[in-house]
Amino acid sequence: MRTIAAGVVVTLLFGCATTFKPWKLSEVEEGMARDQIVDILGEPDYTVDKDGAEYLYFTYQESLAPMADVSLETQEGVDRRVEEFTRTLKDVKYEVVMVDGKMINYKELD
């Protein structure tokens, strides 16, 4: 039971990992092609075509607080730990705007 509980927590931790790194936005420049943007930032989470522009959306998940040590001896402890873990994360979304295949702007979304 203890091994299963530890596996659940580890799976949750790695399942929330992100490959997008917002600090890499400083490497993108106006006029870059889509493939250059993807080489730097990675594949977007999703895209939207609207009014002649392509919007690329990226998500970065950050921890709001360090996680405390919690015993994994009981299923109840695992449930409590998972609940605590999900409250410590914050999603930050970013939008990259492409027109005619070139980046014209990016911003953090509220």
Asked if the model's pLDDT at residue 18 lies above 60, the reply is: no
Q: What is the mean pLDDT of the segment spanning 66-77?
A: 53
Structure tokens given for 23:
């600090």
Q: Is the pTM of this model over 0.85?
A: no
Asked if the model's pLDDT at residue 6 lies above 50, the reply is: no
State the Cα–Cα distance between residues 28 and 75, nearest whole angstrom: 46
| Domains defined along the chain, listed by start | 2-109 (3.30.1450.10)
State the Cα–Cα distance between residues 40 and 22, nearest whole angstrom: 10
According to the model, what pLDDT value does residue 16 have? 44
pLDDT-derived band at 34, boundaries 50, 70, 90? very high
According to the model, what pLDDT value does residue 104 have? 97
State the Cα–Cα distance between residues 49 and 76, nearest whole angstrom: 46
